[in-house]
């Protein structure tokens, strides 16, 4: 579909169950994205900077990052700040995906440059709907930087 099958989605999520549900929801959107799942903030940065196990073969540049906030090692806020501070990474859309609806988390994320903020609903049909909407928007509706020429 429109060549989107080449686009990688990086899922940063420490909860294995939530990762299962999110990947399932992403499959539901019928877009053939490759989903790479990493379990903490340090791994996420390794992936983005092609370090460690992501050095060879070099990890692809993701077209979308789904980022949880409460993460081991390096938390989501710090990962987000690093991405948005880096000239080569800042144009990758980052969607925060978390259980927290605390104003300081929401406002802090937008303040640090998050492109979108999603809270995980308990109802699984709602969960699928939200994830699909995010995926469709960022993969199909949104025009990514550098593609308009």
Contact residues for another protein (CB under 8 A)? 15, 17-18, 20-21, 24, 99-100, 102-103, 120-125, 127
Which of 17/87 has CB closer to another protein?
Answer: 17
For residue 128, the minimal CB distance to another protein (Å) is 9
Which of 2/123 has CB closer to another protein?
Answer: 123
Which of 59/128 has CB closer to another protein?
Answer: 128
For residue 18, the minimal CB distance to another protein (Å) is 6
Which of 123/141 has CB closer to another protein?
Answer: 123
For residue 100, the minimal CB distance to another protein (Å) is 6
For residue 76, the minimal CB distance to another protein (Å) is 14
CA distances from 13 to 5, 56, 70, 113, 148 (A): 22, 23, 9, 19, 32
In DSSP terms, 119 is beta-bridged to: 98
Of 93, 104, 102, 10, which is closest to residue 48 (Cα–Cα)?
10
Beta strands in 8-103 (DSSP E): 8-12, 34-38, 64-67, 94-98
* 85: Cα within 13 Å, side-chain hemisphere: 8
């Amino acid at each position: 579909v429109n060549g989107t099958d080449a686009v990688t989605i990086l899922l940063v999520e420490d909860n294995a169950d939530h990762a299962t549900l999110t990947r399932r929801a992403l499959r539901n959107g019928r877009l053939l994205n490759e989903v790479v799942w990493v379990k903490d903030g340090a791994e996420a940065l390794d992936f983005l900077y092609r370090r460690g196990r992501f050095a060879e073969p070099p990890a692809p540049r993701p077209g979308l990052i789904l980022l949880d906030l409460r993460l081991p090692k390096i938390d989501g806020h710090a990962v987000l700040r690093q991405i948005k501070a880096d000239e080569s990474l800042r144009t990758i859309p980052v969607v925060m995906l978390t259980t927290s609806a605390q104003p300081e988390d929401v406002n802090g994320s937008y303040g640090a440059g998050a492109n979108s903020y999603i809270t995980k609903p308990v109802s699984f049909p709602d969960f699928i709907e939200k994830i699909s909407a995010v995926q469709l928007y960022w993969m199909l509706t949104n025009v990514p930087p550098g593609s308009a020429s």
